Every structure is written in structure tokens, then in C-alpha cells.
Structure 1
Amino acid sequence: MAEYKLQGLSCANCAREMEEEIHKLEHGEDAKVLYNTSKLIVNDEISLAQVERILATDGAAIQKDDHDGHDHAHSHAHSNRLLKLFIIVSAVLYFLAMFVGKASEGAAIALFIIAAAISGYQTFIQGVKNLFRLKFNIDTLMTIALIGAFSIGEWKEGTLVAILFGINEFLEGLGMEKARNSMASLLKVAPKEALLIEAGRERIVSIESLRAGDTVLVKPGEKIPSDGVVLEGKSSVNEAAITGESLPVEKSINQAVYGGSINNEGILKITITKSYEDSSLAKILHLVEEAQETKTPTEQFINHFAKYYTPIIILIAIIVMVIPPLFAGGDWGKWFYQGLAVLIVGCPCALVLSSPIAIVSGITRNARNGILIKGGVFLEQLGKINTIAFDKTGTLTKGQPIVEAIKQYDEKFFTVAGSVENASSHPLAKAVMKKVEEVSAPIYEVSDVNTLSGKGIVANVNGSIYFVGNEKGIPQSALTEQIKQEISEMKNHGYTLVAVANEEKVLGIMGISDEIRGESKVIIDELQQLGIKHTVMLTGDHEKTAEKVAKQIGLTNYFAGLLPDEKVAKVKELTQSGKVAMVGDGINDAPALATADLGIAMGKGTDSAIETADIVLMQDHLGKLPSAIRISKRVNRIIKLNISLALGLKLIALLLTIPGWLTLWIAILSDMGATVLVTLISLTVLIRQKHHA
């Protein structure tokens, strides 16, 4: 497939019609005319000459110099400035004609015609072509209306219609341009060049030429060119482009960095681990750009409806022109005029615009917050979720075990525990060692180490044999009734136990748990306030641990001891009673994420998270999830409001035909008013509201 940038694409409905025409060409069945990003995607084998002829019928063209975004943005700005100039000149001529009309009617008519031609010549040239091809779109409707108005001597109103329609087109193009520019500013975070170090020499290269293993130097204030690891230096790095987090992150030797993040103060020498096209930033930007063009069910319905809307309006216009004069003795001139006004009301532009600007704005807004939404359909879905299922480890908890409770019966307890666990890389051993370091207990060399499967380790510490592990491995001879009771109490609190004992006695017991994230309870409260009725935890951990976590953070329900396939079954069960989102790390929870109505992964830009889920929280916490839901709900509300306004204003205008009050300028104002309102309301999504992060 080949991709081209387009210029002159200013109408969402026209883009849909052009796409349908290209589909009829040989090799054109998969073609896409992407209005939101002003792009054309076609099969390599298609005839570009035929495609360009179709594009030209609606004033669009393939941009010849499309090697970067600058020319594209410039072409839009240039065409908008030109249209703005034409409208101003037409408006001046219109008022001059009204003044001149008192002295010379002929001169006034000439000025009206010139003003109409300047304001809408492209529309009317296109409309005449469409008439010969029997193609009925907004250009055709406006052309018929103008010719009709002039034919019955309505020079002033016909010209006003042309000027107002020009203003309408200008505002429509301006609204989408604002949304596109907002997205373009987001995409500009990608660096362009890097300072490569080769054989001790430095040279500037494009980031496209970087490969894994290359070494680059990043000075203060510069962007890190691609994902890598710090080889030398220490600095704080702004990762907002990746995670949406504004606070800088300290980086030193052997720590990972992301392409597109900004080095704040120190000089960093970085070993590149991924070529730019494989980096987290490149994948994010590609997915965000693609996301703009996925059609939501609402958009698909609107586009389908728009196909039939214009022919129905033409039929209504004919009925208005013919029925009253024929059957009610009405004046032919009056009802012909009313019919022309109905044609103008038939413009579907405001209706087609009711969704895309809001969707692009919502995706852009979330991307700025470090929330990657892979399509408008997922943005829309997020606002309809009523149940969220969470994985426990690493999602609601930190995934880092800590010692929370201690029962010490002997002074050697910490020394023995530290000596035996010192060489282990097990997460529980790390928690034990952290506590041993806190109390500054001495560490000894161990010998005769023997692992007891599922229980723990037996080892010789300083000449004596000790056991370190869970309660199952404690020698029965060492257990007293008091210790049995204390073990039972610690297990009831949901702790994982690490005991130290010999054949004679228990030296002590540590109660270990996975530390709950500080923000988890606040986030769950926020979600429930946002209308999420069910917050559920799905975990493979045992019952008591799950109960403890669920109770502490205020979940509505939990299910413990689940294997991966059992998590999938539980998600399926939950989906029977509502829309379900599953939140996990994107690796272990992949099947459950895929099964839910919406898969949400968190993982600070890891490849697996980006590839698995429908929505990715680029942070390593849930802090931005409520914000994403707020924005989604707001976008859904705005789309419903836009559709109501677009259809409501047109319905009011059509009802004015019953008493014969509909005029050409009221008709165009109803359409222009709907377009302006729909555009402005959609762009409010980009405005950062107080408390809505």
C-alpha cells in the first residue's frame, strides 16, 4: 500500500464520497481517504491518474512535495488564507452593491454576481460538473440554489447565500485544521538528529540511520534520539513525551532511557538498544496517528445515514416546490424559493463533522497525558465501561514484596535469615535482605545448602543447621502452641511467611506482603465516583491476601487463586452483566486483556503492553486512568450533543417551510450555525479543565 498526503481536503462528507468513488476503480477496493489526517492510502497497482481525477472533482489533490509535514501544513494555511481573502472581498462588494442599488439596479446586479463568483466559484464550478454527472452533494445543492435564486431575481439573497457558504467552508476547514495541528504538535516530539560517537569522533546523523549498539552523546536540553541505556553520566530526564508525567526522572549508568525524552542538565553517553523505528516513541506516534482514522460505530452510522440524507432532502425540496402550487393554489415563485431553501438545509457537513473533530481531540488530549488509545472505537467504548477488573500484582500493588510484620524469638534471627537468603534472587529473599540491612545484622558464609521443594532452604550457618522458609518446613519439634497460634494469626492477615528455625526452636517469623500502591485506594474511589459500578480484582494469590488488598483499597469484589485460563473465564462471566475493562501488565494478563471488552495495559512503554492492549497507560501506575475515562465520557457527550444540534437546527429550518417562512439566508445560517457549534464544542475537549487532568 502507498501513502500520500492530500491538499484541499476540507470536507468530511466529500472525503467519504471520494473514497467510495476510488473503491470502484481496479485495485481500489482497499483505498482510504483519511479526512482527519488528510491522507490517501491506496494499492501500489492502482492508476494514480484515475485517482487524481476523482480527487480533482472535489477540489483535492495529491501533494507532490510530501517528504515532511511542513508543506502539508503550509498548504492548508495558504488555502484558508486565500478563502478568507475572497470572503472579505465578496462581503465588501455585497455591501457596495446594496448601496449602489439605490442609483443603478444593473450595477448592483453586476456587483452581486461578481461577489457571488469570488466567494463560491470553486463550489459552483464543481457543482455544475456534478449536475452533468447527476452527482448530488453539497456543491450540487448550493449550485442549484444559487442558479434558482438568480433565475427568480433574488440577487441579494443568492449572493448572501454564496458568501455565508464560503464562511461556512472556511470555519469547517479551520476547525479540522485546529484538531490536526494539535495532533501535529504532539507528533513533533520526535527528535530529528543525533550526535553519534564513532572511533572517538563525534558527528551529527539523522535518527533514521541509528542502529542498536551505536553510542550517542546527549547534551543538556537535547532530546534522546532513541531507546537506550546510559553508558556514562548522570542527569534528570523529562519523560513527558512518553509517560505524560511532568516530573523529571533521575538517570545514571545502566538505567534505561526513552527516545523523545529530554535530557535536563547533565551530559549523557547512551548506548542505543533499538533503531528509531522500533523505539517506544516511534510505535506510540504511529499508533496515535493511526488511531485518528478508526471509525467508531457512531461515525459509521452517521456516514451510512449521510448517503441517504441528501437524496431525501432533494425529494423533500421537489415536494415543497410542486405540491403547494398544484394542490393548494400556492404561488409557484414563492414555493420554488422555499424549495431552494430546503436544498441548502440538506447540507450534511455539520452532521458528518459531529464526531471526527471530537474523536481526534480526545485521542490527542489523552496522548498528551501519556495515555495511548489505539482508536476512536476504544475511546468511545471507554466512556461506556461499568466494570473494571484489575490484576493485583504490579497493578494495584507494587509487585515488590516487603516485610510488614515480625515475630522475633531469638537474637540470631536476622543474622541467620540474612546469611541464608543473601545469595538468593527470589523476590521474598530480597524483601528479607532489605529488612536485615535495616537492622544492620551481621552476615556469615553458609555451607551445606539444601533446597526443600515448596518449603524453603536448610543450610549450615556458623557451625549450626538452620531452616529458612515457609511454615510448612518448620520442624515439628520446634513448634509450640503459642507459635502455632501466631502463625495462624499472621496467615489470617494475608501475610506470606518466612520462618527461621532449627530442630529445637523457632528463631522468628517475618510476615511479607506485596506493598499496595499509595494511589490505589484514591483511584478506586475516583472510578466509583465516575460511575464505575463494579471494581473487581482477579489474582492468582491466595484468599486471605486477596481479601486484605480488596478491603484496604475499597474494591467491590475479588476472586483469588485464579490461573490464567480461570481469569479469562471470570472476565467472560463479568461481560455478561455489562461492559468490562481489564487492567493488567500486558504480558501475563494478555488472554484476559484480549477477552475483555477493553484491554488496558500499564507498563511504561514496554513493547508487550503497547502490542497487547486497546489502551496503554504509559506510566507504571493507575494515576491517569480516571482522567482517560473522564475525557472519553466527555467526548461521548459532545458527540451526542453535536448530532442533536446538527439535526435539530435543520429540523427547525425545515419546519419553517410549513408556514412559508424559510428563506435562503435562514437556511444557510442554520447549516453554518450547526457547523460552527459542532466544531467549537468538539475543540473544547483539548482545553484542560480544572481537576480533569
Structure 2
Amino acid sequence: MKEYKLQGLSCANCAAEMESEIKKLDHGGDAQLKFNSSKLLVHEKVNLSKVRQILKSDGASLVETNEHGENGHHGHNHSHGSNMKMLVFLSSVIFGLTFLLQNYVSSYVLIVMYVAAMTLSGYQTFIKGAKNLVKLKFNIDTLMTIALIGAVAIGEWREATIVAILFGLNEYLEGLGMEKARNSMEQLLKVAPKQATLLLEDGSERVVPIESLQEKDLVLVKAGEKIPSDGIVMEGSSSVNESAITGESLPVEKTAGEDLYGGSINNEGLLKVKVTRAYEDSSLAKILHLVEEAQEMKTPTELFINRFAKYYTPAIMLISLLVMTVPPVVFSMDWGAALYQGLAVLIVGCPCALILSSPIAIVSGITKNARNGILVKGGVFLEQLGKVESIAFDKTGTLTKGEPTVQTARIYDPERFYSIAGSIEKSSSHPIAKAVMAEVNTKNSELREPSAVEAIPGKGIYAEIDHNPYYIGSEQTISHLNLSKEQQKDIEELKEEGYTLVIVSSSEEILGLFGIADEIREESKSLIKDLHLAGIKHTIMLTGDHDKTARKVAEEIGLTDVYAGLLPEQKVEQVKRLSEGSKLAMVGDGINDAPALATADLGIAMGKGTDSAIETADIVLMQDHLGKLPSSIKIAKQVNRVVKLNISLALGLKLVALLLTIPGWLTLWVAILSDMGATILVTLISLTVLMNKTKKTSFVKEEEKEVQPQS
């Protein structure tokens, strides 16, 4: 399949018809004409001349793009829009002159001027409509052509000219609105770098296209340049702007050994980077692919509108016919007046505003979320996000950091407690041992080398230090000791509070104990509060941890429901049950979350989680936290409100115009104004999704306060 960029594509209905025509060509069966992104995918063997003819019949044309999107991804040809604007302007000038000269020239001269004005702004529509009329294919161009012919036939030259000018203006504004949404999306896609400086084995440098980069290649990234693909810093240090990937505005300091996202910007310094993923497998390439695919996925609302439009246009034609024939036959109305009213009804029936009520808003919502580092994989998922009432979270790595830390300690022998704990655990790579060492390192205790270390399966570790035996581990390591009432009380209290206990003891007494828990993320509490403010009714934790630990976390951050001790398959069953009551989104980051993400109405993964969770999820948060989830929900809800309002306006204005036929007040120019007014309103309201700033979450505000003194 070969990809082409289209220009002059402004009508979704026309795009669907052109796709249908192209599919009838030899090798055209798999053709895809993507209206939202203005692209055409066709087989390489398809007859391009015939494709161009089909496109030309509707005022569109194609421009071949290279693999990286030049002359395609990164720029539109606006000549079609500019031409239409100029033609409408000239038509309006000529029409204005008819008013000034109407008392000074003959009616024949005025008719010539009307025809000139009509031709300039309406000839493309007329030609397309005439061809459709011959084929008995009825769309907006056909309706407008019939209306123009009818108006001229009954001598309404001025009315016919107004219709042509206003329809031309309507087409221009319609295309301009969709182009604005497309351009906003293309600005997002411009983050992709085009070239990279490759370091060769002999130490020389060569500038190469990023598509040629392979895993383990070494590249140089200078200050101000974009990181060409995902990689790891081998030499150098710098601050890196990752906003294009994660949506976070604050730069991140990077030194040797740290990971980099392709598409992020090196702010200062020289970095030597080892590529860890070929460009096509990089985070950036996946983001761009997901965003582009998302534009074309139809929502249930869009699919309904498209089905509705198929029946709507023929119904309008039938109503128009009835308006033309019934009043003269039944009520002895003048045939000319009835014909005039029927033509006005045809114009009112234009479905443009209705068809545009959804795509501009959807593309705008996907774009705005992508700018914030939130990848919505399709309009259907954006619509679903706006309807979600309940959100279920995995605990570890999502609401918590996924790293055990010492939260509290009970110390009975201050001189030996930290020293013995550190001496035993310093060589261990176990996550709990690392948590203990992180706490010990804050105390500057003297560490010694054990003369013997032995693991006790299921219990802990035995060690000899200075010829004395010591133990560190669970309660089972102290089963041989007699505990005081205070020590027993401390152990029970910490267990009741949900902590994992690590007890340090000698052969004779307890030296102290650590209370360890997974550290709660800083933003979790404010996140849950913001989600409730955004309209989420139920915030639920699904975790494999034991009940007391889970409830402690839930109470601290304000969750409404907790389900603990769940295996991965039990999480799936719980998600199924919760989905029965309301729209449920599931948030997770691990491989064990993938089944639950796939089962929920909506799966949301954190971008620094596993590939399986990201692939399975419907929405991906590229940050390593959930701080921007409330804003993405607000954007989705705004898009849903906008689409509903647009549909109401599109149908409401047409209904009002149709009701004007009853007293006979509907004129051609009122009809076209009602249609154009609906289209303009729908377009402008849809673009407010891009313009409006969503309120920042509490976490983001706190971040800004923290960094303010440094700026």
C-alpha cells in the first residue's frame, strides 16, 4: 500500500463516496480514504490517473509523500482554500456591484453579472452536482445544483446568486475548520526528528536518516537537537525536554546510564547515546502511529450520524417534492411559489453541519490529550472516557511507587539495631533488603563484615558478626525468644496497620523491627480528589496484597472501594462484575494487569509500564504518574458535550427553517444561511476543545510551587 496526502478534502460525505469509487478500480479494493487526516492509502498497482480523476471530480487532489512524511506530514497545500476564498470574494464584489448599478443598466446586464458571480463561487458545485444528477446520485452537491437550476428557471437570479455565494463561503469555512484540526494534529507529529549523527567504528561521524538507525548504534546528540530514537546515555550529562513524549513541561536531568525517549530535546551539553530500539519500534514512532490511527476510528455517535445521513438526504428530497406539489394541488397555491419553497427545503436538507458535528471535536480532543502526553487510541475510546463513572486501579506501581520503603521502626537497642541490620543486608539485592539499606544509610551507622551468612528459607537470614549470632527476617526468626508485652504490642500494632515486618534480633533478644510498606505516590491523594471532582463516582483498588495493607492505602488516599488478595484471574472476574453496574476504566502498569485492562470497558496504562499493558490498553499515559488523568477525563467530557450540542444545533436550526415553510416565510437565502450558520457554529464550537485550557490537577500545582524558587 502506498500513502498519499490529499488537499482540498473538506467534505466527509464526499470523502466516503470517493473512497467507494476508488475501491471499484482494479487493485483498489483495499483503498482507504482517511478524511480526518486527509490521506489516501492505495495499492501500488492502482491506476493513479483514474484516482486523480475521481478526486478531481470533488475538488480534491493528491500529493505523494515520502516515508518520513515530507510534503505530507509536515505541511498542507492550502491553494484550494485560498482559491475558494478568492472566488467567493470576487463573487461578492460582483454581486455588490449589481446593487449599485441596478438602476443604471439593463436587466440583461444584471443577469450577466449574476451569472458571473454565480459561476465564480458555484461552478465546482454545479459541475459535481450535474454529474451526480446524471448518475442519480443524491448528495449535497446534487441538492445545491437542483436548487440553482430551479431558482434560475423561475427567474430568481438574485436568490440563486446568493445561494451560490453563501454555499461557496460555507464550503470554504467548512474546509478551514477541518484544516485547523488537522494542522493542530500535524504540529504534534512534527516532533519526529529527520536525521541523526551516527558515530562510526573508526570514530568518524555521518549524518543518516533516522529510519536507518538500528539497535546498539551510537549517535551524538548536540545541544538543541532531538534524540533520534529511544536510547541510553553512554557519555555526557544534560537536561532533556521530554514534553513531546510525556507532556511534562519541566526538563529532566540525564546522566550516563539513564534512558532517553526518541523525540525529546537535548537542552545543553553533548550526549553520546546508544540506540536501544530501531526508530520504527521507538516510543515516538509508536506515539505517532497511535495518534494517526486514532483519528480515523469512528465513534458510535459518528457511525450513527453516517447511517442517519444516508436516509436523511432522500427524506429531505421527498419532503421537498411534497412541498412543491401538495400546496398547489390541495390548497390552490401558486406553482411558482411552491416550487420556490421546495427548492429552499432542498437547501435546508444539506447534511454538512450534521456530518461535521463530531470529527472536528474528536480530532481536537485526541490532539489536546496527545499534547499532554495522553495517547487515546481512537475517538471511540475518547467518547468512552467521557462516559466513565468508575475507575479501578491496580495498587503496586500505580497508586504506589512499587518500591518497598521503611515507613516506621521500633528500636530496643539503638547501638546495635541499624549497624547489625546494615551489616547483614548490604550484599543482598532483594527489594526489602534495599529498603532496609536505604534507611540504614541515613543513620551513618558503622557496618561490619559478617563471618558467616546463611539464608533460612521462608524466614530470613542468619549471620555471625564479631562471633555473635544475629537474625533478620520475619516473626519466625524470633520464635525462640520470649517477648516483652511492649514488644508483642508493637508487633501486633504494626501488623494491624498493614506493614510488612523485618525483625532484627540476636540469639537472646530483639534489637528492633522495621515496618515496611510500598510507598504511596505523592500525587495519589490529590489525584483521587480530582477524579471525584471530574465526575468519577467510584474509585476502586484491585490488588493482590493482603486486606489490611490495601485498606490502609485506600483510607489514606480516599478510595471508595477496595478488593484485596486477588490473583490476576480474580482481578478479571472482579472487573467483569464491576462493569455490569456502570462504565468502568481499569488503570494498571504491569504484565499481570493486561487481562484486566482488556476486560474493562476502557483500559488505561501508564507509559513507563510494560509493553503488554501499553499494547492492551485503550489509553496510554506517557508520564510515570497519574497526575494528568483527571484533565484527560475533563477533555473527553467536553468533547462529548460539544458533539451533543453540535448535533442539537445542526438539527435544530434545520427544523426551525423547515417550520418556516408553513407560513411560507422560507426563502432560498434564509435556507442557506441556516445551513451555513449551523456549519460555522459546529466548527467553531468544536475548535473550542483545542482553545480551552483544562484546569490543572492539584499534583501539577504542587509541582509548580516546588520548582518556583529555582526559576
TM-score, normalised with respect to structure 2? 0.95
Q: Which residue of 2 aligns with 1:56?
A: 56
Q: 2:72, 2:420 → 1: CA distance? A: 70
The answer (yes or no) to whether the contact 1:215–1:270 under 8 Å persists in 2 is: yes
Kindly indicate whether residue 454 of structure 2 is the aligned counterpart of residue 450 of structure 1: yes
Q: Give the counterpart of 1:613 among 612, 617, 620.
A: 617
Q: Give the counterpart of 1:396 among 393, 396, 399.
A: 399
Mapping for residues 216-235 of structure 1, pairs under 5 Å: 216-235=219-238
Q: Which residue of 2 aligns with 1:12?
A: 12
Q: After superposing the two structures, state which structure 1 stretch, 312-321 or 409-418, moved more.
A: 409-418
Q: Which residue of 2 aligns with 1:549?
A: 553
The answer (yes or no) to whether the contact 2:23–2:29 under 8 Å persists in 1 is: yes
Distance 1:66 1:118, change over 3 A: farther
What letter matches 1:367 in structure 2? A
Distance 1:21 1:322, change over 3 A: same
Q: 2:493, 2:209 → 1: CA distance? A: 62
After superposition, the C-alpha distances for 1:504-535 in whole angstroms (9 at most, x for unaligned) are: 11111000111111111111011111111110
Q: After superposing the two structures, state which structure 1 stretch, 361-370 or 58-67, moved more.
A: 58-67
Q: Compute the displacement of 1:482 (Å).
A: 2.8
The answer (yes or no) to whether the contact 1:374–1:614 under 8 Å persists in 2 is: yes
Q: Which residue of 1 aligns with 2:38?
A: 38
Say which SS state the counterpart of residue 403 (structure 1) adopts: strand
Q: 1:66, 1:404 → 2: CA distance? A: 56
The answer (yes or no) to whether the contact 1:353–1:675 under 8 Å persists in 2 is: yes
Q: Which residue of 2 aligns with 1:658?
A: 662
What letter matches 1:534 in structure 2? H
What letter matches 1:171 in structure 2? L
Q: After superposing the two structures, state which structure 1 stretch, 230-239 or 22-31, moved more.
A: 22-31
Q: 1:509, 1:26 → 2: CA distance? A: 77
Distance 1:53 1:77, change over 3 A: closer
Mapping for residues 350-499 of structure 1, pairs under 5 Å: 350-410=353-413, 411-499=415-503
Mapping for residues 269-348 of structure 1, pairs under 5 Å: 269-348=272-351
Q: Compute the displacement of 1:624 (Å).
A: 0.3
Q: Compute the displacement of 1:391 (Å).
A: 0.6
The answer (yes or no) to whether the contact 1:600–1:615 under 8 Å persists in 2 is: yes
The answer (yes or no) to whether the contact 1:586–1:612 under 8 Å persists in 2 is: no
Q: 1:500, 1:73 → 2: CA distance? A: 63
Say which SS state the counterpart of residue 476 (structure 1) adopts: coil
Say which SS state the counterpart of residue 601 (structure 1) adopts: strand
Q: Compute the displacement of 1:59 (Å).
A: 2.5
Aligned residues: 693
Q: 1:121, 1:516 → 2: CA distance? A: 66
Q: Which residue of 2 aligns with 1:597?
A: 601
After superposition, the C-alpha distances for 1:433-487 in whole angstroms (9 at most, x for unaligned) are: 0111111111122243222222211122221221111113323324333322210
Q: 2:340, 2:634 → 1: CA distance? A: 47
Q: After superposing the two structures, state which structure 1 stretch, 291-300 or 421-430, moved more.
A: 421-430
Q: Which residue of 1 aligns with 2:167?
A: 165
After superposition, the C-alpha distances for 1:550-577 in whole angstroms (9 at most, x for unaligned) are: 0000100101111111111111110111
Q: Give the counterpart of 1:562 among 556, 563, 566.
A: 566
Q: Give the counterpart of 1:527 among 531, 542, 565.
A: 531
Q: After superposing the two structures, state which structure 1 stretch, 73-82 or 30-39, moved more.
A: 73-82
Say which SS state the counterpart of residue 481 (structure 2) adopts: helix
Distance 1:161 1:76, change over 3 A: farther
Q: After superposing the two structures, state which structure 1 stretch, 117-126 or 69-78, moved more.
A: 69-78
Q: 1:72, 1:409 → 2: CA distance? A: 67
The answer (yes or no) to whether the contact 2:73–2:189 under 8 Å persists in 1 is: no
What letter matches 1:365 in structure 2? K
Q: Compute the displacement of 1:66 (Å).
A: 5.7
Q: Which residue of 2 aligns with 1:124?
A: 126
Q: Which residue of 2 aligns with 1:101?
A: 102
Q: Compute the displacement of 1:57 (Å).
A: 3.1
Q: 2:272, 2:262 → 1: CA distance? A: 14
Q: Which residue of 2 aligns with 1:245?
A: 248
Q: Compute the displacement of 1:43 (Å).
A: 4.5
Q: Compute the displacement of 1:274 (Å).
A: 1.2
Q: 1:74, 1:689 → 2: CA distance? A: 26
Q: Which residue of 2 aligns with 1:84?
A: 85
Q: Compute the displacement of 1:73 (Å).
A: 7.0
**Structure 2 residue runs without a partner (length 5+):** 698-711
Distance 1:74 1:203, change over 3 A: closer
Kindly indicate whether residue 676 of structure 2 is the aligned counterpart of residue 672 of structure 1: yes
What letter matches 1:676 in structure 2? I
Q: Compute the displacement of 1:45 (Å).
A: 5.8
Q: 1:588, 1:447 → 2: CA distance? A: 41
Say which SS state the counterpart of residue 473 (structure 1) adopts: helix
Q: Compute the displacement of 1:71 (Å).
A: 5.7
Amino-acid identity (%):
64
The answer (yes or no) to whether the contact 2:361–2:642 under 8 Å persists in 1 is: yes
Say which SS state the counterpart of residue 576 (structure 1) adopts: helix
Q: 2:677, 2:218 → 1: CA distance? A: 57
After superposition, the C-alpha distances for 1:198-219 in whole angstroms (9 at most, x for unaligned) are: 1211222211121111111111
Q: 1:66, 1:56 → 2: CA distance? A: 22
RMSD: 1.7
After superposition, the C-alpha distances for 1:264-300 in whole angstroms (9 at most, x for unaligned) are: 1121111111111111011101110110000000000
What letter matches 2:167 in structure 1? F
What letter matches 1:82 in structure 2? N
Q: Compute the displacement of 1:15 (Å).
A: 1.0
Q: After superposing the two structures, state which structure 1 stretch, 640-649 or 49-58, moved more.
A: 49-58
Q: Which residue of 2 aligns with 1:141?
A: 143
Q: Compute the displacement of 1:6 (Å).
A: 1.9
Q: Compute the displacement of 1:52 (Å).
A: 4.0
Distance 1:538 1:606, change over 3 A: closer
Kindly indicate whether residue 258 of structure 2 is the aligned counterpart of residue 262 of structure 1: no
Distance 1:524 1:500, change over 3 A: same
Q: Which residue of 2 aligns with 1:112?
A: 114
Distance 1:201 1:72, change over 3 A: closer
Q: 2:657, 2:303 → 1: CA distance? A: 26
What letter matches 1:7 in structure 2? Q
Q: 1:94, 1:638 → 2: CA distance? A: 36
Q: Compute the displacement of 1:19 (Å).
A: 2.6
Say which SS state the counterpart of residue 571 (structure 1) adopts: helix
Say which SS state the counterpart of residue 666 (structure 1) adopts: helix
Q: Compute the displacement of 1:238 (Å).
A: 0.5
Q: After superposing the two structures, state which structure 1 stretch, 209-218 or 38-47, moved more.
A: 38-47
Q: After superposing the two structures, state which structure 1 stretch, 460-469 or 159-168, moved more.
A: 460-469
Q: 1:605, 1:69 → 2: CA distance? A: 33
Q: 1:155, 1:53 → 2: CA distance? A: 32
Say which SS state the counterpart of residue 407 (structure 1) adopts: strand
Q: Compute the displacement of 1:641 (Å).
A: 0.2
Q: 1:655, 1:459 → 2: CA distance? A: 92
